[in-house]
Amino acid sequence: MILSNEEIKKLVQEKSLLENHEDKNIGGAGVDLRVGRYYRIKSPAKLGVTERELPVIEELADDWITVKPSEYILIETMEKVNMPTDIAAWMRHRSTLQRSGVGLLTALIDPGYNGTLTFGLRNFGEHPFKLQRGARVGQIIFSRMSSAGKEYDGRYQGGNVV
Q: What is the pLDDT of residue 160?
A: 86
Distance (Å, whole) CA 6 – CA 57? 38
Q: What is the pLDDT of residue 112?
A: 96
Domain covering 5-144, topology? Deoxyuridine 5'-Triphosphate Nucleotidohydrolase; Chain A (2.70.40)
pTM, 2 dp = 0.93
Domain boundaries, the chain: 5-144
Q: What is the pLDDT of residue 39?
A: 98
Longest CA–CA separation in the chain, Å: 45
Which backbone phi and psi does 98 adopt, to 5 degrees?
-65, -35
Q: What is the pLDDT of residue 98?
A: 94
Residue 33 · residue 97 · CB < 8 Å: no
3-state DSSP: the chain helix, strand, coil percent, rounded to 5?
10, 45, 45
Q: What is the pLDDT of residue 162?
A: 85
Helical (H) or strand (E) element with 8: helix 5-15
Burial class (CB in 10 A: 0-12, 13-18, 19+), 96: exposed
Q: For each of the chain's 162 residues, which pLDDT tens digit applies?
A: 999 999 999 999 999 999 999 999 999 999 999 999 999 999 999 999 999 999 999 999 999 999 999 999 999 999 999 999 999 999 999 999 999 999 999 999 999 999 999 999 999 999 999 999 999 999 999 999 999 888 888 889 988 888
